[in-house]
Amino acid sequence: MRVDLIGVGLGNPQTMTIEGRTALEQADWVAGSRRLVEELAAPGQRTAAATKAGELLELIRSSGAKRPCVLYSGDTGFYSGTRTLVPLLEEAGIDCRVLPGISSPQYLAALLGEPWQDWKLVSAHGVASDPVGEVLDGRKVFFLTGGSGGAVQLCRALTEAGLGRLHAVVGEELSYPAQRLIRGTVAELAEQSFAPLSVLLVEGVEPARRAVTQGIGDEEFVRGKVPMTKQEVRAAALAKLAIRPDEILYDVGAGTGSVSVEMALLAKCGQVYAIEREEEGLELIRTNREKFGAWQLRVIPGAAPEVLIPLPPPDAVFIGGSGGKLGEIVDHVLEKNPAVRICISAIAVETLTAALESLGRHGLSAQVTQLWAARSRPAGQLHLMMGQNPVWLICANGEEQQ
């Protein structure tokens, strides 16, 4: 017995390869999703509706078929179930042959009259996808959509992040009689509705500035009267937080958003929440997000810890301002994620004491670093060093208590 794993293209029999169609015609048992089996199996062929690899293996074993086949939509090498069935068949000693079909990126590119070789291919079909992070390397992004990752939901997420101006196209029911190409901005498409069998192509965006190292110059940020974490302190805090590209991050008491912006540039596949209660600060954060293209940054108005309640658990938190609720904020973020990494900035001795007490209640041993920097200022032909306020960074790693 040999099992043929057939990629049927986009579902319309006209998009199958001749080799795949021949194998289907010669099969005496056909399995796959209910839609594919009902549309493509010939009268008289025995069929089974199943998609999970383990179930398919058992059905193949018990089928008694001499030429069984399993149908898969699209290309067998493009987010296909063959990646789990093939190893099971090999382990069971069952011979199999994989016959690829035409993939939806190929088909859409042909309709648009452009190559797809430089597109970024992403599945949002039944898996979590971060559309904002995906578009941030400048390439066009092709999304397989479905379920909670439909084209409308993806476009709404991009619009909410401030990327509604990006141009996109939805390919609806490709290869079928009801096929449509719907073009527009992401914001326009977010207000429409599309068939479940749809794909989405979105233009990429280049960040205004990429993170090369921590510590963007203070003069590059738009500033008002709101306090800002200065370059030297910001660089040290970000280094201690050891931010990874896909993490969820909080900047509590975000001020001008200088820390939030740098977090977002470092965590381009993650999510940054800038929490600020002052209206001037909120406007500055939005302005700096736009200036630096920090689209992973979400502005959260209000006071912590109350506004933190609906947010997802953080991997790392910077606390630059607490409104007198430092202990409650620390309690809350550790409750959300006991392994969270925390860095607290303090310029007052009282805040330093409160930070140590708050972390100590949770059995965390804090590392305290005092930073003091001086910057030169021209004075005629001389340069004088002007001291800045000393700052403490109180850092702790929740993983230490695990």
Give the pLDDT of the chain (402 residues) as one tens digit per residue. 899 999 998 877 888 899 999 999 999 999 999 989 998 999 989 999 999 999 999 999 999 999 999 999 888 988 889 999 999 999 999 999 999 989 999 999 999 999 999 999 998 876 778 899 899 888 999 999 876 668 999 999 999 989 999 999 999 999 989 999 999 999 999 999 999 889 999 999 877 666 556 789 999 999 988 889 999 999 999 999 999 989 999 999 999 999 999 999 999 889 999 999 999 999 999 999 999 989 999 999 999 999 999 999 999 999 999 999 999 999 999 999 999 999 999 999 999 999 999 999 999 989 999 998 888 989 888 899 888 889 999 999 987 554
The separation between CA 250 and the C-alpha centre of its own chain, rounded to angstroms, equals 16
Adjacency order of strands within the sheet including 271-276? 297-301, 271-276, 248-252, 316-319, 341-346, 391-397, 367-371
d(CA 72, CA 356): 58
Q: Which residues are registered as beta bridge partners of 121?
A: 142
List phi, psi (to 5°) of 284.
-65, -40
Residues of 164-173 as b/e, b for ≥16 C-beta within 10 angstroms?
A: bebebbbbbb
Q: What are phi and psi of 95, to 5 degrees?
A: -70, 140
pTM: 0.74
The Cα–Cα gap between 219 and 224 comes to 12
| 393 token code pair | 């960074």
Side-chain-facing half-sphere of 41: CA atoms under 13 Å:
24
322 CB-contact burial (10 Å; exposed 0-12 / middle 13-18 / buried 19+): buried
Query: Amino acid identity of 167?
Result: H
Give CA separation, 203 vs 110, 112, 170, 327, in Å: 17, 14, 12, 44
Q: Where are the alpha helices (DSSP H) in 253-315?
A: 258-266, 279-292
H-helix or E-strand containing 300?
Answer: strand 297-301
Tell the residue number behind the tokens 């970000």, with chain if given. Answer: 238
∠ CA(44), CA(46), CA(52), 5° rounding?
Answer: 150
